Amino acid sequence: MAKVEINIINKKTITPPMVPPLEKFSSVLDKPSRTRTSGNRATQTPNDFLITTELVEWAAKQSIKINLDLETEKFLNHHRAKNSKFSCWQSAWRNWMLRAEAYAEEKKLRQPPPPVNSNQLDWDDTSWRLDLGL
Per residue in 47-98, pLDDT (tens digit) is 888 899 999 999 999 999 999 999 999 999 999 999 999 999 999 999 999 9
User: Could you state, in order of their start, the residue ranges of all structural domains in the chain?
Assistant: 42-109
Higher pLDDT, 123 or 75: 75
Query: Which of these, 111, 9, 108, lies nearest to 65 by C-alpha position?
Result: 108
The confidence score (pLDDT) of residue 36 equals 47
CA distance 31 to 80: 33
Confidence of residue 131 (pLDDT cuts 50, 70, 90): confident
Per residue in 10-38, pLDDT (tens digit) is 656 666 666 666 665 555 555 555 554 55
